[in-house]
Amino acid sequence: MTPALLEVNGVTLQYKTPRHLVTATYQVDFNVHQGDRYVILGPSGCGKSTLLALCAGFTAPSSGELLVDGTPVNGPDPRRGVMFQDYALFPWLTVAGNVEFGPRARGLDKAKRRAIAAHYIALVGLDGFADRYPYELSGGMRQRCALARLLANEPEIWLMDEPLAAVDLQTRSILQDELLRLWGDADDRVRRRAVMFVTHGIDEAVYLSDKVIVLGRRPGQIKEIVAIDLERPRRGRRSSAALNRYVEHIWGLIQDDAARAIVEEKS
pLDDT digits (tens, 9 = 90+) for 202-211: 999 999 999 9
Q: What domain range is 107 assigned to? A: 86-154
Is residue 206 assigned to a domain? yes
Which of residues 130, 154, 178 is at a domain's end? 154
Q: Does the pLDDT at position 267 exceed 60?
A: no
Is residue 235 assigned to a domain? yes
The letter for the amino acid at 214 is V
Q: Ramachandran region of residue 194, left (φ > 0), alpha (ψ -120 to 50) or beta?
A: beta
147 and 226 share a domain? no
- Decide: 183 and 83 in contact? Cβ < 8 Å: no
- Decide: 3 and 67 in contact? Cβ < 8 Å: no
Dump pLDDT digits (tens) for 68-125. 999 999 999 888 999 987 778 999 999 999 999 989 988 899 999 999 999 999 988 8
Which of residues 128, 154, 180 is at a domain's end? 154
* Residue 234, domain CATH: 3.40.50.300
The letter for the amino acid at 81 is G
144 and 202 share a domain? no
169 and 256 share a domain? yes
163 and 260 share a domain? yes
> How many domains does one find in the chain?
2
The pTM (predicted TM-score) of the whole model is: 0.88
